[in-house]
Structure 1
């Protein structure tokens, strides 16, 4: 059986749900507002977690490689192990913020991902302690075991990120499906003021947000996890996702608050004889 199939079996393991609940309790203690947006990577335009994990994984991999090379690299290897330990916290916090806003199947794999990386961190911590006491052989062995653990954790993280698209833009493919030119969405009066309404452009979902002063049309799928934005709500010039609360500006689709990090694609609008026409805004 392929490893990928084994990992998919974890998604259906409901015995992990108590651990999921406990970890979600920890995630709820993370700061909200701008601090939470930073953890998600809103300001970057893509998730922060994949960047942060390079710091501990890179330094620990380099430390193990130095351990395996001929010559005396004990001082440098120990420094790299310790640097990795110092950079674990931001990687954990950013990952926890993202994980708490994902689907159940992501979260079940995520707790195993956390357990593997946690074991790896403990092993590298023990390696650092052994090196500090002059037990270099133990230090090297523990570091090698730790690298194996975080390698497994990284495999599980890769499954969440790539196979299940956790953190990927769930609406990006729709951009290539919208035909060029203007498209008729029907009578403007068919779209009520103050509430988002769904429509489609040649099968591509869009959301129409009509206010007293303007009408805005955005791609109808949330980039975060694919929620139907027509089921969301309008607030302070923004459209709020119905699933995880991401907020997007009505005028240009910019992310105001996460967990989404990619903007919603906006459409240009034109009212002709009481009918609403739209076309995808140029880059």
Structure 2
């Protein structure tokens, strides 16, 4: 169980330092979605996931004529991964243990996915299409595992930021937790 993986606590101080700008006002308020009343991260995850899933689908079903489109989709996924990660880091800074451990594993798997999809994009631009496809398939596996953990955080652990007005409406408590430093 990731929540009990104390080894992830060794990585957290470095990640906190590197990602600290995403947890500082006023940027944190924007990234946490205070202006829209709920977290922005789940909304943005659809972009890289959608682009990358479409690229892999074209690799599997599109044939040689779909290769340029698959490569463009990989690039779009890489471009949207940054803003998606920024919103995730802002959320992560709100977490207490054991949820922060799950968030750390989620981030590490997403980092691996980004690296693999970047490798796929580079390989394709070097004319190594099959190598690019292999990297893309591996990236899909890493992204799927990361997505599972992200879903675990929001579904099972009930983590995410949302406006306190929802609590007043009887929807439930504010689920963002104070950060542990």
**Fold shared per TM-score above 0.5:** yes
Residue aligning to 2:103: 110
Residue by residue over 1:223-267, the C-alpha shift from the partner in whole angstroms, topping out at 9 and shown as x without a partner, is 2437xxxxxxxxxxxxxxxx46xxxxxxxxxxxxxxxxxxxxxxx
Shift of 1:70: 4.1
Residue aligning to 2:117: 124
Shift of 1:93: 0.7
Residue by residue over 1:191-215, the C-alpha shift from the partner in whole angstroms, topping out at 9 and shown as x without a partner, is xxxxxxxxxxxxxxxxxxxxxxxxx
Query: Which is higher, the Rg of structure 1 or of structure 2?
Result: 1
More helix by share: 2
Unaligned ranges ≥5, structure 1: 1-8, 178-220, 227-242, 245-283
For the 8 Å contact 1:161–1:168, the answer to whether it is kept is no
Residue aligning to 1:35: 27
For the 8 Å contact 1:60–1:80, the answer to whether it is kept is yes
Alignment of 1:59 with 2:10, yes or no, is: no
Alignment of 1:223 with 2:174, yes or no, is: yes
Unaligned ranges ≥5, structure 2: none
Residue aligning to 1:88: 81
Give the distance between the partners of 1:73 and 1:98, measured in 2 at CA. Answer: 37
Question: What are the residue-to-residue correspondences of 1:169-180 with 2, within 5 Å?
Answer: 172=166, 175-176=169-170
Residue aligning to 1:211: none
With 131-140 and 17-26 compared, the bigger mean Cα shift is at 17-26
How many residues are aligned here? 177
Give the distance between the partners of 2:23 and 2:168, measured in 1 at CA. Answer: 33
More strand by share: 1
Give the distance between the partners of 1:114 and 1:31, measured in 2 at CA. Answer: 16
Question: What are the residue-to-residue correspondences of 1:270-281 with 2, within 5 Å?
Answer: none
Shift of 1:176: 4.5
Kindly report the root-mean-square deviation, in angstroms, between the aligned alpha carbons of the 2 structures.
2.3
Where relative contact order (Cα < 8 A, 6+ residues apart) is larger, the structure is 2
For the 8 Å contact 2:38–2:163, the answer to whether it is kept is no
